Structure 1
């Protein structure tokens, strides 16, 4: 199974409709299984349920689960809207993929389906006396599952979609993609900095963002055609039908061209899966919005700086894997300077007039510079950039405070 198929299955598994569909199918099977299981027992199981209590319970579940499902959808949509307006729209996809909310919604839909199927089966005489007893105990199990899920969902709603929750989710996503990038900057291929001349360029037929590159497929095409392939459009970059996706050192037939274009997934919006820059960009967007005059929330910007520091700390601690898995594929990795610029330049620009933010930014960059002396110039350059911006925007007293922190870093 290729990495492209695995990635597609992983993406489908994160969709809320897929989880809800699986829970619904399981609920239908669970409800109908009572009638089948009853015929398999060599002995008789029957309990006096009294006045068709199973049907009454199922009707209560059906009506209540429909209401709870509607409430859950409203709560989820409200959380998505809140994250979009107060944090950044880039965080919405992480909230949509939240497993707790997906499990809660899927359980409620499954409970509704279970009760509906049970009521229909009861009305048609599908269950015998033993089947009704088994259905009764199955209904008790379903009630227990629903109650536990509902309690977890209520506890989850207290933080779901709040600013701290959004920052934590983006930090986790950024840390994951940046750590993967630090461990394998070239995605298993060979690194290159400058593109050789005289290459055959292959373009796609769609416009948008590259969100995934299937390197194993690119390697197979390169090996079959006996060429070397240079990936020129990495995840996170915008492309159109005139933008080359990959360049070859030799001739490429039509079948190979079609395979190479399939190796690049192009979508209207960026995705966190292979894009190491999106996470830090989204965090920086939260900080920039918090520093706008309309919001005026420097505390959130300081939290973002702390989150970015943890993200880069984790990435800088990783040791790059020198093993090359794709001998015929060359990839130009995203540079550390690009990542640092994406993360800290918006905060340096929009927080230039707030001394508390600038002091925290200087301390953060000094700490990151101390992590790895070989990469320290990148962080020191950004610290110089932030200091120059702040010096022009702050008053005399604040400049003096910031300068003491800035000079201490260079001491």
Structure 2
């Protein structure tokens, strides 16, 4: 993914740009009706009084202000509920919800349209054809608002609920996995032996503290081509960086100016995101299950649901592609490790559910199923997690009958 594509995808998930677009559309629509006398060449069969149009616009402006305020309050409550009952990391997905953005932007656009139309109407800029056109547009806006209200009511019923939030996290994680599988090494060569550094390599180090969000692979490749360099990338998106962390190792002739320029191709931010970071989605799903298993929540059913979802997501990863063409031959990337993915997905579940037989049984069944698919590293990672879960269960289960049941299940 190019840097500007990544920036645009980030902006596209924000509410403000869509609200601005709908607002400008409302202004343009209100002003377009002033030219009705010039481009409307036929005689309209009806005339609309100024008072009739003004009353409709007044209804829209007052109601849209109230509805928008109420909707913002409902959003805040849903976000707070999701943060308390699921995990704060999932709230970002709710804030990027497209239905919410469309509905709120429609309300704001209708409000701005009514205000601008009322101002222009008061100045006497609308003639008889203009008022008729404005009346038709106003009726259409009312119809649009009613449709969006019905859509919003149906959406509010599910917004912030545990099941809906988990669905969004799973969808975001699945998308990140699919994107990574389409380019497992981001177009670079796989660097499997990342513990052995190339001889004479120079490191570009981080000057910030935070999480690596994005690597501008294409721009980095162009710099390597221009200066005859080989670049070795030890980190993936989602890795935590501090001042002095090695972002990339370079072989070839480099100077301080070039090192600084290459350092700008790495975006480091205070928090992780789901884009380019499949591990983050798996970790968030595990957090949901961990909170469900806490004594305050006591909801093992949600944890069992998460185990099934994690198994489904990792099964997709097991179908990964290794025969991907290398687009940037001068770059070498340390690939995502299956052991790290399994740790993100199941370690919290195995720890917090160590004393619950239903969690341990489902966990062992899932890990056993995952040991039958994927490559050798994938199966080995599943087996290691299963063994660690057994060790935790051996000390976590307090009743002999539960231990015997788990042992019998493992024997089968």
TM-score by length of 1: 0.96
Q: 1:338 aligns with which of 325, 337, 340?
A: 340
* 1:202 corresponding residue in structure 2: 204
Q: For 2:323 and 2:72, how far apart are their aligned partners in 1?
A: 43
Which deviates the most, 255-264 or 67-76? 255-264
Confirm or deny that 1:119 pairs with 2:121: no
Q: Is the contact between residue 40 and residue 129 of structure 2 (CA under 8 Å) also seen in structure 1?
A: no
- Give 1:377's match in structure 2, choosing from 377, 380, 390: 380
- After superposition, give the CA deviation of every residue in 1:89-120 in whole Å (9 maximum; x if it has no partner): 11011111000011111111011001001100
- The aligned residue for residue 142 of structure 1 is 141
Q: Go from structure 1 to structure 2 and tell me whether the alpha carbon gap of 1:172 and 1:320 turns closer, same or farther (over 3 Å shift).
A: farther
Matched with 1:393 is 396
1:157-216 CA-partner distances (Å, limit 9, x unpaired): 111111001111111111111232233221110111223242111123322111011100
Please give the per-residue CA displacement for 1:291-332, whole angstroms capped at 9, x wherever unaligned: 111211111101111111111122222433421011111110
- Who is 2:4 aligned against? 5
Contact 2:2–2:218 under 8 Å retained in 1: yes
Q: Cα distance, 1:45 vs. partner?
A: 2.5
CA distance in 1, matches of 2:379, 2:206: 39
Q: Which residue in 2 is equivalent to 1:155?
A: 154
SS of aligned partner of 1:246: strand
Where does residue 38 of structure 2 map in the other structure?
A: 39
Relative to structure 1, the CA distance from residue 254 to residue 144 in structure 2 (aligned partners, 3 Å threshold; closer, same or farther) is: farther
Give TM-score scaled by structure 2 length.
Answer: 0.95
Q: Secondary structure at the match of 1:251?
A: coil
Contiguous gaps of at least 5 residues in structure 1: none
**Change in CA separation of 1:247 and 1:277 when aligned onto 2, cut-off 3 Å:** same
CA–CA distance in structure 2, aligned partners of residues 104 and 309 of structure 1 = 35
Deviations 1:131-161 (A, max 9, x none): 1100111111111111111111110111111
Distance (Å, rounded) in 2 between the aligned partners of 1:67 and 1:183: 46
Which moves more between the two structures, 100-109 or 247-256? 247-256
Cα offset, 1:255, TM superposition: 4.3
**Selected match of 1:329 from 328, 331, 334:** 331
Cα gap change, 1:56 to 1:30, in 2 (>3 Å): same
Q: Which residue of the other structure, out of 294, 297, 301, is the alignment partner of 1:295?
A: 297
Aligned partner of 1:83 in structure 2 is 82
Give the alignment's Cα RMSD to 1 decimal.
1.5
CA distance in 2, matches of 1:240, 1:376: 33
**1:249-283 CA-partner distances (Å, limit 9, x unpaired):** 01223443333222111111111111121000000
Equivalent position of 1:211 in the other structure? 213
Instruction: List runs of 5+ in structure 2 lacking aligned partners.
Output: none
